Structure 1
Amino acid sequence: MPFSLFGADKIPFDSIHNLEKNIPNIIVWAVPVMLLFTAIEMAVTYYQERDFYEKKETIGSILVGLGNLVVSAALKLGLLYLCIWVYNLLPWRMELQWWTLVPCYIIYDFFSYWAHRVSHEQRFWWATHVVHHSSEHYNLTVSYRLSWIQHLKIIFFLPVAFMGFHPVIFFVTNQLAVLFQFWVHTEYIRRMPAWVEYIFATPSNHRVHHGSQEKYIDKNFGATFIFWDRIFGTFQPEEEPVIYGITTNIPNKANPFFINFHELTDMVNDVRNARGFRKKLFYIFGSPVKIAEEKKRLTEQELAEERMAA
């Protein structure tokens, strides 16, 4: 039979449960390994008396991670329906060929770069991502901090689905992309060989991304490949020691609900108090940095008016 990549048969929706069973649960399988390496890092940190971990933040990270697993499991079937629906629309459906993971992963990572970048540049999307940056310490548990509403960002990855990759390939690619980001959240791996640092989002490159200093903010968005940042002008090497967290760190570090939804709550309050439709849109879709500057300016103005009135 001659080789053919495109023109695969449509996937009947009544076979979706069988297809779901054929999608390997890579992340679930990896959880014990991730927990083992996390425990090792925690033990080494304790033995060396380093401050890479903080009790409340660690509890918060673990609870956020557990919640994300529950949300992901609950949404899996619905997302699979969506992928199959898109797949069946296309005349260029790809056969289930495992080597297509390679182009799918590279293309997926390209769109991941832009989804990640937009998540820092627009407050609505920042609210789906800020949970990952709210830790003031950098360790393997930070990789567990994945927002419970992050699946809204599937809209950024629909172009990958419309390229005709088989739904199994799409789901496996997503899992591998998430797992890659586990090992980069550590202080113990410093600089890697130059060619690795040039191509991949290494721990050094990703530490920069979690920095709250001005030179580090909104840099190094690449999830697996850092060359996207080099191409689009957002690359920053690790130079001075990184100060982790966000510009205004959260007070409740162990409550997973607060960690997940504090930014949404603040956004709703800002929109409610804003005057004019344009200002309300600014507080929803504006740059988080500019919004923080605006709120700081208004606070300083109010304080000045209070001092004058007194």
Structure 2
Amino acid sequence: MPDFSPVDYAIPAFVALVLVEMLWARRHRPDAYEARDTLTSLALGLGSTVAGVLFGGAALMAFFAAYEYRLLDIGWAWWAWALCFVLDDLAYYWVHRTGHRVRWFWASHVNHHSSQHYNLSTALRQTWTGAFTLGFAFKLPLVLLGFHPGMIAVCAGFNLVYQFWIHTEAVGRMPRWFEAVMNTPSHHRVHHATNPRYLDRNYAGVFIVWDKLFGTFEPEHAGEPIRYGIVRQLGSFNLLWAAFHEWAAMLDDIRRAPWRHKLSYLLRAPGWSHDASRETSDEIRARWRARKERALSDEQKVSNENPIAVEGEAA
């Protein structure tokens, strides 16, 4: 089993790139960084590292226990590494999508989206409670198929390293062939947006093809400025509130809800409420689309009622 963590080796590069982006932002985007926001992101990243050391062993133990029941002995050939990387990214797509669509998982993942700024420090804004949600179970099929837990851990590490550089506004669009296959800053800016058009889109880690395959892809539209953060903005730089606010809100909703609705506040989409007092991302998007369609219909109606005569047109 390889004793190698890609993230550990990448940390110096992460720090250097954040500093480089800060210099770029001072000249080109002064509002890209906010000191208290950046410190909160860095603190969440540090806390996530500590949580990984304390609780990550539970996932590894589960993987090794499941490995005893594997269907195949895939081994360590080069093609096994390539296949594991692709399948691990597919598993990441589904755990990430679930992290947005099921409130139990969103309570943990929301930390990463709570900044209203989008820069490389935002990539470090990671959860403290990921192991608690048992999201690692999404990768158990890879273990049962026959990929060694160590191989999966290394591939997941490279996946995380790749995702760091796409958290920036300093990079516009990549070449078309690259944008067609890979996740890019443009695609991931969409994922961090609160615009109705963009909500819950582009879940990919490395390969954007998963979103195109499963119907969750949305390109970045040049004429629509992106608003970052979450639908109900955090409104605070308090570190503990940033880390646990959604857990507290979810538990409060469960406490207040009638018994028949309590489980729904765990398993339904974020924003769902039994009394329709809030909206899910699907409902927000549907309302936005309806408004757009009404506006387009009204435009067409006005156009039909007031035709423009073309000069010189034959009678």
Change (3 A) 1:292 1:209: farther
Instruction: Tell me whether 1:177 sits opposite 2:166 in the alignment.
Output: no
Aligned equivalents of 1:292 and 1:183: distance in 2? 40
Deviations along 1:62-121, whole A, 9 cap, x unmatched?
000001111112234333322222222225122233441210111111121111111111
Residue in 2 that maps onto 1:256: 239
Change (3 A) 1:169 1:293: farther
What amino acid maps onto 1:212 in structure 2? T
The Cα RMSD (Å) is: 1.8
Alpha carbons 2:119, 2:167 under 8 Å: kept: yes
Structure 1 gap ranges (5+): 1-18, 298-310
Deviations along 1:175-220, whole A, 9 cap, x unmatched?
0111111000000011011111111110000000011011000111
From 70, 73, 92, the counterpart of 2:53:
73
Structure 2 gap ranges (5+): 280-315
Aligned equivalents of 2:130 and 2:274: distance in 1? 22
Aligned length: 275
Alpha carbons 1:23, 1:171 under 8 Å: kept: no
Alpha carbons 1:199, 1:226 under 8 Å: kept: yes
Q: Secondary structure at the match of 1:41?
A: helix
Change (3 A) 1:293 1:96: farther
Alpha carbons 1:65, 1:144 under 8 Å: kept: yes
Residue in 2 that maps onto 1:287: 269
* TM-score (norm: length of structure 1): 0.84
Aligned equivalents of 2:14 and 2:252: distance in 1? 38
Residue in 1 that maps onto 2:252: 269
Alpha carbons 1:62, 1:144 under 8 Å: kept: yes
From 230, 245, 252, the counterpart of 2:229:
245
Instruction: Tell me whether 1:41 sits opposite 2:21 in the alignment.
Output: yes
Aligned equivalents of 1:260 and 1:214: distance in 2? 25
Q: Secondary structure at the match of 1:270?
A: helix
Offset, 1:237: 0.4
Change (3 A) 1:74 1:125: same
Aligned equivalents of 2:80 and 2:165: distance in 1? 24
Aligned equivalents of 1:103 and 1:190: distance in 2? 30
Offset, 1:163: 1.2
Residue in 2 that maps onto 1:55: 35
* Mapping of residues 21-170 of structure 1, within 5 Å: 22-48=2-28, 50-151=30-131, 152-170=134-152
Residue in 2 that maps onto 1:203: 185
Q: Give aligned-pair identity as a percent.
A: 35
Offset, 1:137: 0.5
Aligned equivalents of 1:76 and 1:129: distance in 2? 16
